[in-house]
Structure 1
Amino acid sequence: MTQAGIQPENRPVRGPSIPRLTVNMVKTAIQLTESLAAQALLLAVERVENVPWEALANYKGRLLLVTSQHSEEFDHKREDLHIFDVAHASLSRSDRANLGLLLAASSGLLTEKNSVVCVTGPDGRRLDSINVTKPEVHFRAMLSEKNRRGADVVRPAVMLRVLTLAIEIAAEGREAHPIGALFVIGDSRQVLRHSQQLVLNPFHGYARQLRNVLDPSLAETMKEFALIDGAFIIQGDGTVLSAGTYLTPKSASGSVAHGLGARHQTAAAISAHTQAMAITVSQSTGTVTVFRNGSSVLSLERSGRTKW
């Protein structure tokens, strides 16, 4: 199973002591999904064992499960079931669902035309909230492969991997302290025209296959270099060009929320003047923000349970 998600083919063993509230919420969500003709039902749970499978027995629509822990025992033959292991319990309940929607959209499972019914809970074991949403236009902006001629396209897998890395940095920090970070992905030729190196580039001279973010072994190296002031510059195929890079774009034409600092202003500006996507980690709040075309298109907040 990859971190971006799996499509299992077998039935999970029913977990013990599923709360009655969870069962009732799922039954209500099924009725709502069918009455609205929603395109999918999404459950954000801790593990597949926390799913009330009996309540879902007569539901024949698309089922999306967003889990924060991988389950080894899995034996289910339900059709149109898609599981996405986000492994980010540090996110708020709504953002775990949002990340699941993004993963499903990147897999071509969702469209923007119809609603999705989402069921969430505070810890992924007890579900107590139902929300009806549509995959936002910004998901299309994040996943679009349209680009101007000559600019490298951001692959969805690369965007999702860097987003995962940013979430992990927000949750873990470094040496027991929160840190900030900035990643700029795609349109690297234009981005480099608006940059200068603050320190000797730690990625210079290494083979491309050794500095690609899709290689899991590079994660700890990236987290260590996040301590260096400046941005990571990453090509659309995942190749890391530099770290500790100072960006010098003109002011962004888009809008940035009040109270956000220079890192977010720079991210908005570089995404406004190039075809690149910028992802920031706020050192003060742990919020992960994605910028494209000069504006924030996605924001994932760290859960209040994450403490330093």
Structure 2
Amino acid sequence: MDADALAASFNLIKNVVMPTAVYVVTNNGTLASKIVDGTTQTVIISTSAKAPWVSDIASNRVLVRKNGYSLPEINMNAYVESMISSVCIEGLIGAGDRAICVAENGKIGTIMIFDGKNMPAVKLRDEINNGVKMNLVDSVLKIAFEIAREGREGMHTGALFVVGDSKDVLEHSHQLIMNPFEGHSKSARDIVDDSNKATMKDLAQLDGAMIVDGSGMVLAAGRHLDTVNGIDIPMGLGARNLAAASITKITKSVAVMISSTGIVRVYHEGRMVFEAKAI
């Protein structure tokens, strides 16, 4: 893969597209530097490289995100679309942005153009119309992506959040363990409060689901969810996905789940409405 050629193509395209943000997926320091030097816009770089350029290139305008993934040669564009969705969830690329993504895996490269308002992470707001506050779902999604990206002790781990319609959700579930949130103040159970984020991330990774009411208060963790028949989930997905789909089918809730492979999915009305790989 020729870094000079890919950077030259980017420079031609950016003069036509006039992007407001640039997203780069590469382990190639030469390519990353050429892209950064070729634009005045915010640049988000996703890399698994451990070379010195990774820290040298970071600045107020350049955000470097380290990941442990390598882009596949097959379906690379679909993989990149999934990765950029996680960037949208974190608010780094919004509905008003037009972004250029430059991605390469050492063998092949691609340049993609994204219109923020058409991104799945942005369109998710149109899907969720059952009364659950979208800003609350956004807060849970941000925690979910951090769990998917960071894992526990360097290993990916799964988790499940159920947001909204908490009365019915509790009626269709039971505790697997003692509820770690019982007896704690509202301020300590507020999932939107950043000062509680570390606790939320740790307790969400217990077996079972974390239940969040419509105001953002966590009511319980370690909760086993009832499942129902007639749920249609993609082949190969396991019990956590079935539980997420089931609870949103029988209640007016939204479920956000994290797989042990670093994928975040959102379920609503018994079906998956969003899927993205964390970066």
The code of the aligned residue for 1:33 comes to V
- Residues 244-296 of structure 1: per-residue CA shift (max 9 Å, x gap): 0111142354x31111111101111222233322111222x222212222222
The code of the aligned residue for 1:292 comes to H
Q: Which runs of 5+ in 2 are unaligned?
A: 47-53, 70-78
- Seen in structure 2, the aligned counterparts of structure 1 residues 32 and 273 have a Cα distance that, compared at 3 Å, is farther
Q: Which whole-Å CA distance do the structure 2 matches of 1:301 and 1:233 have between them? A: 23
- Residues 57-76 of structure 1: per-residue CA shift (max 9 Å, x gap): 7xxxxx664456998854x8
Q: Which has the higher helix share?
A: 2
Q: Which whole-Å CA distance do the structure 2 matches of 1:175 and 1:53 have between them? A: 33
Q: Which whole-Å CA distance do the structure 1 matches of 2:122 and 2:229 have between them? A: 25
Q: Does structure 2 conserve the Cα–Cα contact (< 8 Å) formed by 1:212 and 1:239?
A: yes
Q: Does structure 1 conserve the Cα–Cα contact (< 8 Å) formed by 2:67 and 2:149?
A: no
1:290 pairs with one of 238, 245, 266: 266
Q: CA deviation at 1:171?
A: 3.2
Secondary structure of the 1:268 match is helix
Within-5 A mapping of 1:91-130: 93-103=80-90, 108-109=95-96, 116=98, 118-122=100-104, 128-130=109-111
Query: What is residue 173 of structure 1 aligned with on the other side?
Result: 151
- TM-score, L = length of structure 2: 0.71
The code of the aligned residue for 1:207 comes to S
Secondary structure of the 2:100 match is strand
Q: CA deviation at 1:231?
A: 0.1
The code of the aligned residue for 1:20 comes to D
- Seen in structure 2, the aligned counterparts of structure 1 residues 190 and 236 have a Cα distance that, compared at 3 Å, is same
Query: What is residue 124 of structure 2 aligned with on the other side?
Result: 142
**Percent identity of paired positions between Structure 1 and Structure 2:** 28
Within-5 A mapping of 1:100-249: 100-103=87-90, 108-109=95-96, 116=98, 118-122=100-104, 128-133=109-114, 135-136=117-118, 138-139=120-121, 142-144=124-126, 147-148=129-130, 151=131, 153-156=132-135, 158-249=136-227
- Residues 114-170 of structure 1: per-residue CA shift (max 9 Å, x gap): xx55313258xxx9421245545854553249745xx5x3232x3233223223323
Secondary structure of the 2:192 match is coil
Q: Does structure 2 conserve the Cα–Cα contact (< 8 Å) formed by 1:213 and 1:239?
A: yes
Query: What is residue 265 of structure 1 aligned with on the other side?
Result: 242
- Seen in structure 2, the aligned counterparts of structure 1 residues 239 and 88 have a Cα distance that, compared at 3 Å, is farther
Q: Which whole-Å CA distance do the structure 1 matches of 2:21 and 2:253 have between them? A: 30
- Seen in structure 2, the aligned counterparts of structure 1 residues 94 and 245 have a Cα distance that, compared at 3 Å, is same
Query: What is residue 28 of structure 1 aligned with on the other side?
Result: 12
- Do structure 1's residue 277 and structure 2's residue 254 form an aligned pair? yes
Q: Which whole-Å CA distance do the structure 1 matches of 2:80 and 2:237 have between them? A: 23
Q: CA deviation at 1:25?
A: 3.2
How much is the aligned-residue C-alpha RMSD, in angstroms?
3.9
The code of the aligned residue for 2:242 comes to Q
Q: CA deviation at 1:234?
A: 1.3
- Seen in structure 2, the aligned counterparts of structure 1 residues 145 and 187 have a Cα distance that, compared at 3 Å, is farther
Moved over 6 A (4+): 69-72
- Seen in structure 2, the aligned counterparts of structure 1 residues 109 and 31 have a Cα distance that, compared at 3 Å, is same
- Seen in structure 2, the aligned counterparts of structure 1 residues 228 and 117 have a Cα distance that, compared at 3 Å, is closer
Q: Which runs of 5+ in 1 are unaligned?
A: 1-18, 35-39, 58-62, 77-82, 111-115, 304-308
Q: Does structure 1 conserve the Cα–Cα contact (< 8 Å) formed by 2:162 and 2:211?
A: yes
- TM-score, L = length of structure 1: 0.65
The code of the aligned residue for 1:160 comes to D
Q: Which whole-Å CA distance do the structure 2 matches of 1:229 and 1:273 have between them? A: 21
Within-5 A mapping of 1:37-52: 42-45=21-24, 50=33, 52=35
- Seen in structure 2, the aligned counterparts of structure 1 residues 143 and 87 have a Cα distance that, compared at 3 Å, is farther
Q: CA deviation at 1:87?
A: 4.7
Query: What is residue 228 of structure 2 aligned with on the other side?
Result: 250
Q: Which whole-Å CA distance do the structure 1 matches of 2:102 and 2:148 have between them? A: 22
Secondary structure of the 2:17 match is helix
Q: Does structure 2 conserve the Cα–Cα contact (< 8 Å) formed by 1:29 and 1:119?
A: no
- Residues 173-230 of structure 1: per-residue CA shift (max 9 Å, x gap): 3244432111112222332232122222111121111112222332332333234211
Q: Which whole-Å CA distance do the structure 1 matches of 2:254 and 2:244 have between them? A: 8
Q: Which has the higher strand share?
A: 2
